[in-house]
Amino acid sequence: MALSRKSQDTLVRNFFFLTALSSIVILALIMVYLFIEGLPIFGLVSVSDFLFGSFWYPTSEPPEFGILPLIVASLAVTALSSAIAIPLGVMTAIYLAEIASRRTRDIFKPVVELLAALPSVVIGFFGMVVMAPFLQETFDLATGLNLFNAAIMLAFMSVPTICSVSEDAIYSVPRELKEASLALGATHFETIAKVVLPASLSGISTAVMLGMSRAIGETMVVLMVAGGAAMIPNSIFSPVRPMPSSIAAEMAEASFRGDHYRALFAIGIVLFLFTLVFNLVASHVAEKHKQVGAATL
């Protein structure tokens, strides 16, 4: 062998180190390329006009690049879907971790996993052909493709994330805590509400942040069912155009490296920063309040 065993080992170790660095390099490259393609738009509009301008008319003459309606739409859809997904996800997690029998668990766990696996385009399609006509008829609306529809469909995409991360958090609550509460005469439900939930709160917050980050970045669902009107919504049944759907719908018609193309990349920067903040907060909470045993409570 040309190489000694020791130097061969070092070589291999360095190789693995380099591959492990790839994730962080890719993340950096994503940021760099979004900025390269998107920043030139700010020679045309100022950052504050871009973020707070209320008119998104990228193709009219002269074009208007104000993305406030898109940001508001993204936040509204995310907030409404979280209002549905958080209770649903956390309650399912409690049911699976604390209440369900082994048999029931063995059935429900794969259900949640399969729900997570449904392609977003299929959920969007379902929202278009089933939920939209249903909403339109039930509430007598002009269109069933609106904020509310998108929020419901997105909720079913973030429930599995919220559920599985919360479930792990609930499992990690030390047994002694629960036993102490039960021994004092509390019922199982009281133990869950007053001991288990407070003890796993940081884990559940992480779950919620991850779920919301998934909802705000989800593209196909909002592209297909949110309605597509770039206006600030005035009711939960208004058609809206969240940031990801604007990018996906308009990129094909934007001329290469034209102003519209640059503006869409700039929306990509805003979207990227939103999810980055969500994820950083989530990992910060998870890191800071790590449950390592009864002693940390």
Partner 1 sequence: MNHSALFEVGLTRRHRTQKLMWGVFGLASGINMAALVLICGFLLIKGLPAISWSFLTEMPRDSMTAGGILPCIVGTLCLSLGTMCVAFPLGVASAVYLNEYARPGRTLRLIRLGINNLAGVPSVVFGLFGLAFFVTFFGLGVSLLSGILTLSILVLPVIIGTAEEALKSVPQTYREASLGLGATKWQTIRLVVLPAALPGMLTGAILGLSRVAGETAAIMFTASVFFTPNLPTSLTDSVMALPYHIYVLATAGTDIDKTRPLQYGTALVLIVLVLGMNLGAIIYRAKLQKQRR
Q: How far apart are CA 58 and CA 264, in angstroms?
A: 10
Asked whether position 19 contacts partner 1 by CB under 8 A, the answer is: yes
Asked whether position 96 contacts partner 1 by CB under 8 A, the answer is: yes
CA distance readout (Å), 185 to 88, 142, 197: 29, 56, 18
Asked whether position 280 contacts partner 1 by CB under 8 A, the answer is: yes
Asked whether position 135 contacts partner 1 by CB under 8 A, the answer is: no
Angle between the N-to-C axes of helices 68-94 and 201-217, in degrees from 0 to 180, rounded to the nearest 10: 140
Determine how many CB atoms are found less than 10 A away from the CB of residue 90.
Answer: 23
Could you check whether the bond before residue 242 is cis, i.e. omega within 30 degrees of 0? Answer: no
User: With the CA atoms of 102, 106, 111 and 116 taken in that order, what torsion angle do they form, in degrees rounded to the nearest 10?
Assistant: 100
Q: How far apart are CA 165 and CA 86, in angstroms?
A: 12
Q: How far is the CB of 265 from partner 1 (least distance, A)?
A: 6
Give the interface segment with partner 1, choosing from 47-55, 135-143, 164-172, 271-279 (CB under 8 A). 271-279
Site string (206-245) toward partner 1, x via CB under 8 A: ----x--xx-xxxxx--xx-------------------x-
Q: How far is the CB of 134 from partner 1 (least distance, A)?
A: 11
Using the rule CB under 8 A, which residue among 100, 180, 231, 232 binds partner 1?
100
User: With the CA atoms of 199, 204, 209 and 210 taken in that order, what torsion angle do they form, in degrees rounded to the nearest 10?
Assistant: 130
Using the rule CB under 8 A, which residue among 78, 82, 92, 205 binds partner 1?
92
Asked whether position 190 contacts partner 1 by CB under 8 A, the answer is: yes
Site string (242-261) toward partner 1, x via CB under 8 A: --x--xx--xx---------
Q: How far apart are CA 177 and CA 194, in angstroms?
A: 11
Positions in 32-51 near partner 1 (CB under 8 A): 33-34, 36-37
Q: Cβ closer to partner 1: 30 or 297? A: 30
